[in-house]
Amino acid sequence: MRDTYTFDSEAFLATLAALTSRFEQVVASSALSFDGIDDDANPIQHPERRDDGVAPARVLFDDGSSADGSSADDINVVDDGQSCDERGVVRERMRNSEGKVDARILELATELFGGTCWASLIGVASLGFDDAIVDVARAFMLHTARCVRRNGLAVWLHGLIADASTAKLLGKPSPMMPMTIRPMSRIQMHRWVSSDAAHRYGTNKQRREDIDEYRKQAYRLTAYSLLRWGSPIDECNHIASLMLSDPKFGVSLLRQDPNLLLQGVAPDCRVSRALAYLRHLHVQADLYYARAVQRHWDLPQLDPANHTEATAAMDRRYLYDAHRLVISYRALWDRAVPKADAVLSEVMQTQEYPRMKLWENPVYLRDVARSLVGASLAADLVEGFEARDVQRFEVGVARLRTVTKMVDTMTLLLMPIALSDSHEPKWAQMNRGGYRSRTQAWRLYCDVGADLALIVLGRIDRGDDRYRAEAAAALMQLDVQAYCEMTIPLFQPQQVDAERGKAGKKMGEAAAAVDGAAAESARRGISDGEDTAAGAVREIGEVAVGEVGVGEVAADADETLIAALRRMR
């Protein structure tokens, strides 16, 4: 794997220029509205109601009364320093707006910023109901263009991460954090950008949650940008997966950018030791699995009605790892096991690898858990085990079994469609609830999108690196339709036939590579040959597992796909 990467900053700037131009056209026309939007593109919808469960210091209601029951007409100046007349003009513009977010703005904003709060900021501001929000969005796009043009995309992304990390360290919201960090009413958004009062950020609990979400979205935007604008693709996929699973490692690799190095920002050399150790564990896992395949140890049985040769190898490995993971955690429950972070810290300091069996190593177990269901959905399983919290651990096990059942019944390629659908908020029902419930539902949905992207990057071995990058980016955009369009062709029988014709040749080449890597390792040590051996063993596993006749694959592929989609619906 290469040690450097680059961003296509020119393409990013060209898209940003198109977005800025369209934004100015739409805002100038004032033809769009914030009213009546009830879709996944903009979860931030209606003015706050009395039963929303969120109680900021002063909330304005649709009837013109304040949170304490007093009338807005009785208050000449509120905490944000605005007069009643100024506030009335803003509210009148909100009432009179009538449209939806412009489709072109939505497309360009999502292409640039994925499914993050920055894309939502552009969409909300384009509705034109508040000049202050328009100015915030305009300033954000202008600052982004200047920074990227002067220093490159990596410097701008690193600046966002640094700002979010500083906010977390200080426990104070950053002025750069957009108001679309959570669903809120239009009046709340206006107060957020127009007031200097501390309470504009909400309660203390809301502030803490918003700060955590801000940093999380900064990591996700960086991962998305690597997938969308980065090259070489394999290196950027690797860094993006680390941004989603171990952000501190991903940030260190991001600092390899020459422009960041010129600014005195350097990677942490110790991170390379931890990453080398993870690669070492992956090699052990591939060798262990290859032996299990050869000797038929605890291999799951796949139903031919649910799986084709196009997915059999990856499905079987997924089910095998999921089964072994739960068994391993339960076997270690009553034993003293160090935490994964402690083991990695020791490796980073001493450069010595601990003597542990593979399926008793907490670092490997956590890595497997995250690759199976993503970092967010795996948190209950991993952290529940580390804290020996039975209830939380069992919640994580139940979640893993749910996803495993999806893979078993509809293949790993189709599982992201079903999992995303099961977590998508019921928009009509959600908009009748309070803002707290909206925030929780929306953030969980975004978490699932990032988790699915991590699964695609780490588990799907169909297609190529470009497919994995585009599929993961689509899931981070919460665009399941785009994922379907690029994934369904992988099930076509003619592609299976073509790959089956190459299987014998690949197996011979892989076996030769293993022999060569073993000989080389004997001379120079396992770390020198482990990458070659891992790839070769992985290819042997793909060929050896799930052997089905080519004629059967051609006959069953379409029927399997149709049946899986029916079950999903």
Rounded to an integer, what distance in angstroms lies between the CA atom of residue 239 and that of residue 247? 9
pLDDT the model gives residue 190: 86
504 has pLDDT over 70: no
Instruction: Report the share of the chain in percent with pLDDT over 90.
Output: 58
Using DSSP, state whether 302 is helix, strand or coil: coil
Least confident among 184-198, 308-322, 494-508: 494-508
SS3 content of the chain, % helix, strand, coil (to 5): 70, 0, 30
Q: Is 70 exceeded by the pLDDT of residue 96?
A: no
- pLDDT, mean of residues 349-366: 95
Alpha-carbon distance of 46 to 36, in angstroms, equals: 8
CB 225 within 8 A of CB 7: yes
Q: How confident is the model at residue 563 (pLDDT cuts 50, 70, 90)?
A: low
Element (H, E) at 230: strand 230-231
In this predicted structure, the answer to whether residue 524 has a pLDDT above a threshold of 70 is no
Residues 6+ apart with CB under 8 A from 461: 313, 314, 538, 542
Mean pLDDT of the chain: 79
Q: Which of 246-260, 490-504, 549-563 has the highest mean predicted lDDT (pLDDT)?
A: 246-260
pLDDT at residue 425, rounded to an integer: 87
Rounded Cα distance between 526 and 530, Å, is 6
Q: What are phi and psi of 42, to 5 degrees?
A: -145, 90
Q: What is the pLDDT confidence band of residue 306, given thresholds at 50, 70 and 90?
A: confident
Which range is least confidently modeled, 50-59, 359-368, 559-568?
50-59
User: Which three-class secondary structure state does DSSP give residue 266?
Assistant: coil
In whole angstroms, give the CA distance from residue 163 to residue 218: 9
Strand partners, 42: 39
- Mean pLDDT (whole number) for 556-561: 45
Cα(156)–Cα(218) distance, rounded to whole angstroms?
Answer: 11
CA atoms of 363 and 457, how far apart (whole Å): 19
Residue in this structure with the two tokens 């200080």, named with its chain if needed:
170
Using the predicted structure, report yes or no on whether residue 57 has a pLDDT greater than 50: no
**pLDDT at position 461, please?**
83
Amino acid (1-letter code) at residue 229: W
Token pair, residue 71, equals 């009338």
Average pLDDT over residues 340-362: 95
Give the pLDDT confidence of 379-408 residue by residue, as tens digits: 999 999 999 999 999 999 999 999 999 999
For residues 123 and 243, give the distance between their C-alpha atoms in angstroms, rounded to a whole number.
26
Confidence of residue 37 (pLDDT cuts 50, 70, 90): very low
Residue 485 parent element (H or E): helix 480-487
Residue identified by tokens 């990856």 is: 314
Residue 439 has pLDDT above 70, yes or no: yes
Confidence of residue 562 (pLDDT cuts 50, 70, 90): very low
- 94-109 burial code (b ≥16 CB/10 A, e <16): beebebbbbeebbebb
Q: Are 397 and 381 in contact (CB under 8 A)?
A: yes
Tens digit of each residue's pLDDT (9 = 90 or more) over 216-245: 999 999 999 999 999 999 999 999 999 999
Mean pLDDT over residues 331-335, rounded?
Answer: 96
The mean pLDDT of 43-52, rounded to a whole number, is 35
Mean pLDDT calculated for residue range 17-29: 94
Please check the confidence at residue 350 and state whether its pLDDT lies above 90: yes
The pLDDT value recorded for residue 266 is: 86
Please give the average per-residue pLDDT across 274-296, as a whole number: 94
